[in-house]
């Protein structure tokens, strides 16, 4: 897990004006770049995810086969491996870490792909959740470079309802006095656990809980799932300021805010030249299929494929074999086209 | 609003063993009881609601017409008017207020209806949300007394997903150190505001926010809605311990826990003799229509009528005229049958 590379971004000026000095991206690669550098895939991470959390979709015989493709997983800024509140020295450390947009993340990834690897064309960009948001952003920021995109369980613009869900997570986390406006010396674990409990209702669908599917995941009761899976998730080396940095990126995501589009999301979607397969999950509570159907109306070459079933947002998380097969099959067809 | 009556329950022993000494129900009545006491309707309150919050469904020309019916709105235990943590003297005050079930609430209401008003038959029991839960409980606890029920946007048993949603609300509220385990001297407003923000994502549907319907309600922006409506809601004389008392009642609601049914929810539903019209809202995020379809499968004489539209849980809150007409029309047909 600690086996990854670092790309130095140097003094990286962000869309909202701050300059992150000594910024860096942590990333991992799978497979080998071919002679004409035509087999590269970018597969960004999701909210609080690390590169190793993406590996379930990579493997022999899968669409993302390292024998065929050169797959790069860049860690999102703020996730604790790439530049983050938790690893940035003063004065931009901790609560002073600046606002980072999807556009910033993708610009950093673009620098990595072009300058380190000399890649000028990507066979595919794909990702789950905020990884899907970065996927959309790639297609808007660098249309000449992106041949195909496959965002799953994510969106091109964060809906108002999604923002509200995240407000709840943020409010719970920061209600803990131990958070101290971000200047904690010890983790605000009460707030982290509260945020986990708020998140729990959103991550999986009503039907997932009705059918107690968490038992298949090895949890013995509802409370065991809330503590063992959810609280464990938020306490697993997740720094509170890091979580809030990524939460800001998420709440403010909108491909329309790419320079040149002046806030016009539809115009940005229309500018996408990549062939797109868009995969929301049927019962995703914060990225509902309707929103992605709307996006597909505006992308010139887009196909909507709804992941069926009851796993909700976590249909794209790699825990349910049926959903993994669905996503993998779609990627295979898209890469063959 | 302060114009209501009080019924003394005396020493009221609760299902979980505590005795609330000097317990009371606050209630309001609308209309006049007729000669043979055959026109009584019970219309219980919802989570944190007060009797006046139910009045939108009562009026001339409506199904609940005070010219025809004697409508009693009992305040739920814990809502600050009936016996509650905030108004009970030591030793059962505040954080020591005992666990109260739906069964307890309805038993207290039964005492009010039979002993104060001499009513032995109810034309209808109806209610929204936790009021719907009390409605189901009436039909199971006193089948010989209840002719008709119309629960809307609520359930006979709290689903696991619904419990998780409430865990998030509770965790946010209690993460505030000012809560002090319930022994606060001043309201834990940070926690109350955090709970409000958590609740905001659940109360209305994704489509409600997508279409910015809050503007119709007089809110100028998303943040204005979060502060003006939601935080205002949770700060409007809502005591934290009261909220947690009602939350416990909600999380533990199950008609199967009525004495005699031994935890068997289906058996309890099968025992219902009332004619039922069950009205979940199409996009209710915590009382989804599937759950009520399931309940209707087990109630001998039940009709499912899904309230269409995008207001989510608040379809039953009285703010959207279309939804109000839908509920009122169903009540008219049910009362005429």
**pLDDT tens readout for residues A270-285:** 999 999 999 999 999 9
Taking the C-alpha atoms of residue B81 and residue B68, their distance in angstroms, rounded to an integer, is: 27
Residue A240's pLDDT is 98
Residue B324's pLDDT is 98
pLDDT-derived band at B169 (thresholds 50, 70, 90) equals very high
Q: Measured on CA atoms in the order A112, A117, A119, A124, is the torsion positive or negative?
A: negative
Tell me whether residues A201 and B291 touch, CB distance under 8 A: no
DSSP string, B61-130: TSSB-TTT-EEEEEPPTTSSSSS-TTTPPTTSSGGGPPP--HHHHHHHHHHIIIIIT----BSEEEEETH
Does B267 score more than 90 pLDDT?
yes
Residue A1's pLDDT is 52
Task: Share the mean pLDDT of chain B.
Answer: 97
Tokens of B6: 């009080």
Tell me whether residues A201 and B172 touch, CB distance under 8 A: no
Please name the residue of chain A whose CA is at the shortest distance from the CA of residue B210. Answer: A160
**pLDDT tens readout for residues B274-316:** 999 999 999 999 999 999 999 999 999 999 999 999 999 999 9
**pLDDT tens readout for residues A101-152:** 999 999 999 999 999 999 999 999 999 999 999 999 999 999 999 999 999 9
Please name the residue of chain B whose CA is at the shortest distance from the CA of residue A223. Answer: B164
- Among candidate residues A128, A169, A328, A160, the one with its CA nearest the CA of residue A254: A160
| B312 contact residues in A (CB cutoff 8 A) | none
pLDDT (mean) for A292-309: 98
Whole-number Cα distances in Å, B306 to A202, B127, B293, B315: 23, 15, 9, 11
Fold of B5-159+253-336: Rossmann fold (3.40.50)
Instruction: Identify the residue among A158, A162, A163, A175 best suited for mutation to test binding to B, counting B beta carbons within 10 A and taking the highest.
Output: A175
Nearest Cβ partner of B172 from A194, A207, A290? Answer: A194
Residue B29's pLDDT is 98
Q: Where are the domains of chain B?
A: 5-159+253-336, 162-246
Nearest Cβ partner of B171 from A194, A209, A286? Answer: A194
Please name the residue of chain A whose CA is at the shortest distance from the CA of residue B163. Answer: A201
**Chain A residues 203-222 with a CB less than 8 Å from chain B:** 204-210, 212, 222
Please name the residue of chain B whose CA is at the shortest distance from the CA of residue A207. Answer: B161
Does B45 score more than 80 pLDDT?
yes
Q: Residue count of chain A, please give it.
A: 337
Q: Superfamily assignment of A5-158+255-336 in CATH?
A: Alpha/Beta hydrolase fold, catalytic domain (3.40.50.1820)
- Long-range (24+ apart) CB contacts under 8 A made by A111-118 are A111/A7, A111/A9, A112/A7, A112/A25, A112/A27, A112/A72, A112/A74, A113/A40, A113/A42, A113/A72, A116/A7, A117/A33, A117/A37, A117/A40, A117/A70, A117/A72, A118/A37
Tokens of A295: 């996006």
Q: Strands of chain A (E only): list them.
A: 5-13, 19-30, 40-42, 70-74, 124-128, 148-152, 275-278, 302-304
DSSP string, A183-197: T-SS--HHHHHHHHH
**pLDDT tens readout for residues A40-62:** 999 999 999 999 999 999 999 99
State whether residue B158 sits within 8 Å of chain A by CB: no
Tell me whether residues B210 and A290 touch, CB distance under 8 A: yes
Task: Share the mean pLDDT of chain A.
Answer: 97
pLDDT (mean) for A76-102: 98
Taking the C-alpha atoms of residue A175 and residue B189, their distance in angstroms, rounded to an integer, is: 10
Closest chain A C-alpha to B165 CA, distance in angstroms = 5
Residue B2's pLDDT is 63
SS3 state at A209 = helix
Residue A2's pLDDT is 63
- Determine which helix (DSSP H) or strand (DSSP E) holds B291, and give its type and residue range: helix B289-298
* Phi then psi dihedrals of residue B168, to 5 deg: -65, -45
**pLDDT tens readout for residues A307-320:** 999 999 999 999 99
Tokens of A154: 């994510």
pLDDT-derived band at B1 (thresholds 50, 70, 90) equals low
State whether residue B187 sits within 8 Å of chain A by CB: no
**pLDDT tens readout for residues B122-157:** 999 999 999 999 999 999 999 999 999 999 999 999
Taking the C-alpha atoms of residue A17 and residue A28, their distance in angstroms, rounded to an integer, is: 28
């Amino acid at each position: 897990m600690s086996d990854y590379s670092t790309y130095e971004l140097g003094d990286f000026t962000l869309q909202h004006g701050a300059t992150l000095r000594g910024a860096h991206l942590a990333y991992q690669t799978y497979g080998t770049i071919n002679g004409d550098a035509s087999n590269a895939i970018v597969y960004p991470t999701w909210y609080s995810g690390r590169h190793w959390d993406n590996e379930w979709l990579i493997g022999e015989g899968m669409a993302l086969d390292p024998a065929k493709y050169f797959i790069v997983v860049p860690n999102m800024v703020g996730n604790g491996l790439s530049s983050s509140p938790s690893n940035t020295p003063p004065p931009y450390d901790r609560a002073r870490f600046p606002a980072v947009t999807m556009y910033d993340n993708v610009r950093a990834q673009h620098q990595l792909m072009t300058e380190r690897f000399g890649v000028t064309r990507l066979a595919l960009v794909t990702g789950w959740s905020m990884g899907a948001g970065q996927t959309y952003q790639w297609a808007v920021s660098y249309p000449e470079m992106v041949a195909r995109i496959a965002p799953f369980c994510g969106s091109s613009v964060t809906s108002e309802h999604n923002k509200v869900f995240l407000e709840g997570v943020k409010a719970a986390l920061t209600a803990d006095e131990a958070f101290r406006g971000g200047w904690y010396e010890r983790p605000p674990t009460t707030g982290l656990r509260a945020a986990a409990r708020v998140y729990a209702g959103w991550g999986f669908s009503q039907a997932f809980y009705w059918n107690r599917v968490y038992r298949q995941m090895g949890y013995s009761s509802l409370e065991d799932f809330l503590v063992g899976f959810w609280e464990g998730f938020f306490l697993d080396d997740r720094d509170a300021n890091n979580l809030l940095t990524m939460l800001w990126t998420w709440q403010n995501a909108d491909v329309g805010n790419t320079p040149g589009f002046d806030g016009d999301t539809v115009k940005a979607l229309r500018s996408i030249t990549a062939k797109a397969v868009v995969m929301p999950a049927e019962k995703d509570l914060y990225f509902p299929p309707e929103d992605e159907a709307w996006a597909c109306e505006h992308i010139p070459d887009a196909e909507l494929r709804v992941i069926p079933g009851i796993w909700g947002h976590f249909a794209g998380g790699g825990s349910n074999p049926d959903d993994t097969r669905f996503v993998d099959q779609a990627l295979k067809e898209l890469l063959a086209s």
